[in-house]
């Protein structure tokens, strides 16, 4: 993937499942313990960690317990200085 291209949904799903699993392990939670603490079924957690598939509500519940829910607040914020097209990029370089 070219560095300036955003990740695809599949790539983002892979990234999220890996980061959530790493975070779970860093905090010392087993899958059953995280499922119990979050209210997400063990089957849903296992499916997420294996395939990246999970409902948004369950993902947010996991994020709460894994102490990273606040990061979701930054999603879709308008960023100043973002370019909408290649023309805008080229004009900014001149």
pLDDT tens by residue, 29-71? 999 999 999 999 999 999 999 999 999 999 999 999 999 999 8
The structural domains of the chain, with segments of one domain joined by +, span 9-69
Q: Would you say residue 3 has pLDDT above 70?
A: no
pLDDT at 85: 74
Are 78 and 49 within 8 A, CB to CB? no
Structure tokens given for 68: 């990273």
Q: Would you say residue 28 has pLDDT above 90?
A: yes
Are 64 and 37 within 8 A, CB to CB? no
Q: Which CATH superfamily is domain 9-69 in?
A: lambda repressor-like DNA-binding domains (1.10.260.40)
Angle subtended by helix axes 9-26 and 56-65, to nearest 10: 30
Is this prediction's pTM over 0.85? no
Q: Would you say residue 89 has pLDDT above 90?
A: no
């Amino acid at each position: 993937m070219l560095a300036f291209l955003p990740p695809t949904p599949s790539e983002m799903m892979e990234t999220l499942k890996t980061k959530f699993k790493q975070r779970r392990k860093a905090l010392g939670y087993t899958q059953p313990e995280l499922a119990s603490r979050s209210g997400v079924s063990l089957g849903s957690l296992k499916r997420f960690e294996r395939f990246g598939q999970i409902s948004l509500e369950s993902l947010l519940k996991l994020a709460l317990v894994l102490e990273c829910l606040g990061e979701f607040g930054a999603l879709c914020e308008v960023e100043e200085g973002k370019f909408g097209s290649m023309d805008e990029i080229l004009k900014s370089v001149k």
